[in-house]
Structure formats: structure tokens, C-alpha cells
A and B are shown apart, each in its own frame.
Chain A
Amino acid sequence: VTSVSESSPPDIAEIIRLERACVIATLIRLAGNIDNAEDAFAEATIEALKRWPDAGIPTRPGAWLTTVARRKALDTLRRESKRSMRETEVALTEGPTDGDLLDVNTVRDDSLRLFFICCHPALPITTQVSLALRLIGGLTTAEIAHALLESEVATSKRITRGKAKIAANNIAYRIPADHELPERLHGVLNAIALIHTTGHHAPTGPVITRADLTAEALRLTELLARLMPDEPECLGLHALLVATAARASTRTDTAGQFVPLPAADRSKWNRGQASEARSILERALRFGRPGPFQLQAAISCLHSLAPTFEATDWPQICELYDRLEHFAPSTAVSVNRAVALAQRDGPEAGLSRLDQLAGDAAEWTFFHVACGHLHGQLGNASAAKESYETALRLTHNDIDRAYIEGLLES
């Protein structure tokens, strides 16, 4: 037990926040149910806030919280044991000792189980995202609602339904077997990537980036990459998020307006993060098992490391987009590939590729912005104006709107 003097209340809250995911992960296994685990954790938190300021912070706060929460869960179970819950009671009373609770492998496996249950493919993707933010990220329902730009009632209902579906279907609290692991892991990575995308380019609302969400996505990815250091796609997503973070400070100007990549002040980019991203990616690539997240990370790293927009390695970016289109075909990838192609082979080449995508990408703001930009480069002002006007009609984000209005005026 550490000395009392250094433990001011904010430190305690922060320690509890950091320990939360691991403790919850173990409690779900012991209590056999997410709701009981969350309730028990809340009670243990109250106990910690009461006792730690005087008694000092335990040397192993996570184990302390788990032990207390386990006792609380057992109390609750005994109070409410109308139904037969013999099995759970055995797990709670005869479960691991405090020593076992600290076992690195057990904690590691429980944390992984938590990722896989939150992102189970039988749950809708928005539910996966909400559960991951809530149970692993430790965000409150209000914070998740705020981040996803929806009402607290909607978020709360989705989380409740998700937990009910897990319970009703007895979705197993386990790490998928080897043969199903690649696909299930991809599902987990997709959910985290969606959290990041939502934070990186908010689809609606008054701001374009939501730093809270991008930071949370990065934190979840770091944790997952630590838990699965031999999964190249996991490292790929980690590299992608770090490479994107390296450029984050110049996505908007001081007035909060969007700054496109060619106009970004590269002296403000975080060199440390850019090279960190590259070394994570290199570690991933050594496994010789490429995948969509490693390819996206490679593209992002090339941007983050390029000295200027013009000096960016466009031929290699085009090649990477070709491979990405093969691994994970999507309209967004095809449009980005066309834009890269325009940089390598000129605006005409890019535009003719974009024309082929017009059907699938018709509802996407950025597609029309890209068309407008290339029309403008070719000196076709009326076609450019038409594209920008279409883009303006499609956007729901205030910052995007201001940016496109700026393009229309110029």
C-alpha cells in the first residue's frame, strides 16, 4: 500500500478508469452476465472511493477491485437467488484466488473475451461499437450518445438490447477457435475502425473531428495490439491510427475549418508518431500476411512521411489501392484510388476512372468534391460548379458545407 499523501481523489478516479476494462472482463466471466459485472464494479468503485483516500491505493488496484466486486456480486446473487444460479455461485465463491486474479494470462484472455463478445457478428455494428465504448472504453451512456450524435435514450436502448441478446442467446464468453479467429478478429477491428472513422470525419454536426472518439479508438487498438502481438492486421490497424494521428493537428485550421491534404502545414505534423506508425507497420509486414488494414496503414504512412504533397509516392499509393481494392472492394476505396491515379497520371485519367464509379458513388459527398476538383484542374468551370453543388446538397456536416462553399466561390 502506497502512502496516503500522494493519493488525491482525481488520481483514484483515473486509476479506477484504467483498471476498469480488465476488471469488468474478469467479472463477466465470474458472474456469467454483463449486467451483474457492471453493477458489482460500480459497487466496488464506491468502496474504493470511500477507502483508498485514507487507506492508500493498493499496490494492485485491479486485483483489489476484482476481489471486492466479486464479493459484491455474490451478495447480490444471494439476495436475489430465486432462480437456480448454483453454477454462478460456485464460480464466484470457489473461483480463482487473489493470486490467480493477477495471473497475466488470465487477465489477458478475459480482456480478449470482452473484445470478442462486444463485437460478436450476431450484433448489429452500431451495437458492437456502443458496447465496446461502454464496456472496454468505460464511456458512460451519455458520453457515447454525445459521441455518436444521438439521444441518450437511443444509446441506452441499443446497449440494453445488445446485452439482452447476448444473454438470451447465451453467446459464449470465449476467444474464438483458431479456424474462426481471422474472421472474428476482422469484425473486432472493423468495429474499432468505425469508432475511429466516426471520430475522424463526423458524418453530421458542427465539427469535423471528434478527438474523444479518435483517442478512444486508438486506446482500444493499443490494448488489442498488446493482447494479440502476433496478429498482423491488428498491428496494421494500430499503425493506421497512429499514422492518421500524426497528421491530426492540421485537419482543421484555428477557426475549425477543414484543411485539405495539399494545403496542410506539414511542419506541424508529428514526426515521432509518423515514424512510430512506420515501425509498427514494418513489424506487421514481417509476418508476410497482408490484409486491408496493413494496406491502409501503408498508404497512410506514405502520406505522413512525404515531405510535400507533390513529392508523395503516388505510384506506390496507386499500387497499394489496387491491392486494397482486391482485398476489400468498396466504393470509398475505388474513389480514393481514382484520386491517387489523378495525381500519378493526371486529372483526365482520374476523371475517367471516377466517371465509371458515378453510379455507386452518387450519394457520397467526397466523390463529387473529387470530381469538381479534377474538372477545375482541367479548366472546366461549369462542370466543376455542378459537382460542387451536388456535393453541397449531400453533406450533413457544417464544416464540410463551409469547405465546399469556399470551393464554389473560388
Chain B
Amino acid sequence: VPIFVAFVYESKDAPRDLDAPTFVAYMNRYVEFGQKAGHAIAGGAVLMPDWSATTIEVQGGQGGKVVLSDGPYVETREMLGGFYLLEAEHLDDAIALAAQIPSAWDGGRVEVRPTMPM
């Protein structure tokens, strides 16, 4: 069966903090979807909110200087080309892996974000 990836772009009104009063109700709607469509869901993860994101750019080509910036990658000129799920103990380990992804050093960017422990 062919596999499709569904990127979930949240509404501006979505709760951005785990302790927001509306968070549980908000998440329950996704749980409900997960139950209904469970037969077709091959995988996925809940990302931590935008404030947990770090964007990585390697300047000067492969193996160059790793430059970090706080927050998600907001430019839209470049295309979202794929994703990896990386196993890493700490952010530093995730960054070290992400910096080797070609788009990090060929003029694109890689955004790393922790997933919510489920």
C-alpha cells in the first residue's frame, strides 16, 4: 500500500502549552481521530510546541560551522522534503545527527523538535 504523510499544521488558536486549560480537550480530538482511523495509521508523533524547536544550519558546506537558532523554521521558500525520526538521548546528540542531513549544509535547514512522550 502506498504511504502518505499528513503534516498537521495547527490553528493559531491551538493551545501552545501543555498546562493550558484547553489542552486535554484539544488532544482528545486527536485521540478520537486515532481511534477512528487507526487501521490506516502507520505511525506518527505529537510534536512539542513551537517554543521547543531548534533550527540548524551548517554554514560553509558539509562538516562546517553549526549555527543554531531558537524556534521553528519559518521560511517557506524552501520545500518541506521529508522527515526523519531520530533516536537521541539529548538535544546535542540530535543536533549532531541533524547537522549531517544534507539540507542542513546545502543551503536548506533542519528543524529538530522533541516529540511528546506518550
Residues of A within 8 A of B (CB): 120-124, 127, 161, 164-165, 168-172
Please measure, in the bound complex, the distance between the C-alpha atom of A124 and the C-alpha atom of B94, giving whole angstroms. 18
Contact A171 B92 (CB under 8 A): yes
Cβ-neighbour of A165 out of B51, B92, B94, B95 (below 8 A) = B51
A-B residue pairs in contact (CB < 8 Å), sample of 18:
A120-B91, A122-B70, A122-B91, A122-B95, A124-B70, A127-B70, A165-B70, A168-B114, A169-B52, A169-B91, A169-B114, A170-B90, A170-B91, A171-B90, A171-B91, A171-B92, A172-B91, A172-B92
Residues of B within 8 A of A (CB): 48, 51-52, 54, 68, 70, 89-92, 94-95, 114
Question: Given contacts A168-B48, A169-B91, could you give 16 more A-B pairs where the C-beta distance is less than 8 Å?
Answer: A120-B91, A122-B54, A122-B70, A123-B70, A164-B51, A164-B52, A165-B52, A168-B114, A169-B52, A169-B54, A169-B94, A169-B114, A170-B91, A170-B114, A171-B90, A172-B91
State how many angstroms separate the Cβ of B51 from the closest Cβ of chain A.
Answer: 5
A-side contacts of B89, CB under 8 Å:
170, 172
With A122-B91, A122-B95 as contacts: A168 and B52 at CB distance below 8 Å = yes
A-B contact count (CB 8 A): 36
A-side contacts of B68, CB under 8 Å:
121-122
Please measure, in the bound complex, the distance between the C-alpha atom of A161 and the C-alpha atom of B51, giving whole angstroms. 7
Please measure, in the bound complex, the distance between the C-alpha atom of A171 and the C-alpha atom of B92, giving whole angstroms. 7
7 A-B pairs closest in CB distance: A172-B90, A169-B91, A168-B52, A122-B54, A124-B70, A121-B68, A168-B48
B-side contacts of A172, CB under 8 Å:
89-92
A-side contacts of B114, CB under 8 Å:
168-170
State how many angstroms separate the Cβ of A123 from the closest Cβ of chain B.
Answer: 6
B-side contacts of A121, CB under 8 Å:
68
Least CB separation from B19: chain A residue: A164
Please measure, in the bound complex, the distance between the C-alpha atom of A122 and the C-alpha atom of B94, giving whole angstroms. 12
State how many angstroms separate the Cβ of B112 from the closest Cβ of chain A.
Answer: 8
B-side contacts of A127, CB under 8 Å:
70
State how many angstroms separate the Cβ of B55 from the closest Cβ of chain A.
Answer: 9
State how many angstroms separate the Cβ of B71 from the closest Cβ of chain A.
Answer: 8
Please measure, in the bound complex, the distance between the C-alpha atom of A171 and the C-alpha atom of B48, giving whole angstroms. 14
Please measure, in the bound complex, the distance between the C-alpha atom of A124 and the C-alpha atom of B52, giving whole angstroms. 12
Least CB separation from A168: chain B residue: B52
A-side contacts of B48, CB under 8 Å:
168
Least CB separation from B55: chain A residue: A122
Interface centre among A123, A169, A170 (most CB of B within 10 A): A169
Least CB separation from B56: chain A residue: A122
State how many angstroms separate the Cβ of A166 from the closest Cβ of chain B.
Answer: 9
A-side contacts of B92, CB under 8 Å:
171-172
Please measure, in the bound complex, the distance between the C-alpha atom of A123 and the C-alpha atom of B69, giving whole angstroms. 8
State how many angstroms separate the Cβ of B72 from the closest Cβ of chain A.
Answer: 12
Please measure, in the bound complex, the distance between the C-alpha atom of A120 and the C-alpha atom of B92, giving whole angstroms. 10
State how many angstroms separate the Cβ of A157 from the closest Cβ of chain B.
Answer: 10
B-side contacts of A120, CB under 8 Å:
91
Please measure, in the bound complex, the distance between the C-alpha atom of A171 and the C-alpha atom of B52, giving whole angstroms. 11
Please measure, in the bound complex, the distance between the C-alpha atom of A123 and the C-alpha atom of B48, giving whole angstroms. 16
Please measure, in the bound complex, the distance between the C-alpha atom of A164 and the C-alpha atom of B49, giving whole angstroms. 11
Interface centre among A120, A121, A123 (most CB of B within 10 A): A121
Please measure, in the bound complex, the distance between the C-alpha atom of A122 and the C-alpha atom of B70, giving whole angstroms. 6
State how many angstroms separate the Cβ of B33 from the closest Cβ of chain A.
Answer: 24
Interface centre among B48, B92, B114 (most CB of A within 10 A): B92
B-side contacts of A161, CB under 8 Å:
51
Please measure, in the bound complex, the distance between the C-alpha atom of A247 and the C-alpha atom of B54, giving whole angstroms. 40
Please measure, in the bound complex, the distance between the C-alpha atom of A164 and the C-alpha atom of B54, giving whole angstroms. 13
B-side contacts of A170, CB under 8 Å:
89-91, 114
Please measure, in the bound complex, the distance between the C-alpha atom of A121 and the C-alpha atom of B55, giving whole angstroms. 11
State how many angstroms separate the Cβ of A331 from the closest Cβ of chain B.
Answer: 19
Please measure, in the bound complex, the distance between the C-alpha atom of A164 and the C-alpha atom of B52, giving whole angstroms. 8
A-side contacts of B51, CB under 8 Å:
161, 164-165
State how many angstroms separate the Cβ of B30 from the closest Cβ of chain A.
Answer: 19
State how many angstroms separate the Cβ of A191 from the closest Cβ of chain B.
Answer: 14
Interface centre among A123, A168, A170 (most CB of B within 10 A): A168
State how many angstroms separate the Cβ of A127 from the closest Cβ of chain B.
Answer: 8
State how many angstroms separate the Cβ of A83 from the closest Cβ of chain B.
Answer: 9
A-side contacts of B90, CB under 8 Å:
169-172
State how many angstroms separate the Cβ of B20 from the closest Cβ of chain A.
Answer: 13
Least CB separation from B112: chain A residue: A169
Please measure, in the bound complex, the distance between the C-alpha atom of A39 and the C-alpha atom of B114, giving whole angstroms. 25
B-side contacts of A124, CB under 8 Å:
70
